[in-house]
Amino acid sequence: MAKPLERGDPKRVSPYEVIGRLGEGGMGKVYLARAREGLLVAVKMVHPRLMGNADARRRFEREVRAATRIDGTYTAAAVAADVNADPPWLATVYVPEFSLSDVLTRLGPLAEESVRALGVGLVEALTSARHAGA
């Protein structure tokens, strides 16, 4: 679920209108955004504090190259990126799902069949990423 934007969050990232905040990690922030035609995307933007870090930029460029090559049933497709923007960004198709933590909190332990299905999906996604060089 997207959280409200905070002060300093972008209103646009290139052609995308930013409508919420999805998360944040060591490399950057991820926003929920909408394309002109209505497609929802997750846009990852590199933290401004990493802009001068050549290693961080190279890691992000590798991530973008791998994301554009990944083609799997259980992975979100890359739709656009700009590694030369300030800050660099990557947009992928937004997949509206609950986190595993949310599911476990709401439903309790998963049935064996569900755990197996989750495992199959994880293996397929990791295999796709590995083949793409991620």
56 and 27 in contact (C-beta within 8 Å)? yes
Per-residue pLDDT of the chain (134 residues; tens, 9 = 90+): 799 999 999 999 999 999 999 999 989 999 999 999 999 999 999 998 898 889 999 999 999 998 898 877 888 889 999 999 999 999 999 988 778 888 899 999 999 999 999 999 889 888 887 877 66
Residue ranges per structural domain of the chain = 12-131
Choose among 87, 89, 34, 39: nearest CA to 64.
89
Query: And the tokens for 87?
Result: 């800050």
Q: Is the pTM of this model over 0.85?
A: no
Q: What single DSSP character describes residue 84?
A: T
Just give the CATH number of 12-131. 3.30.200.20
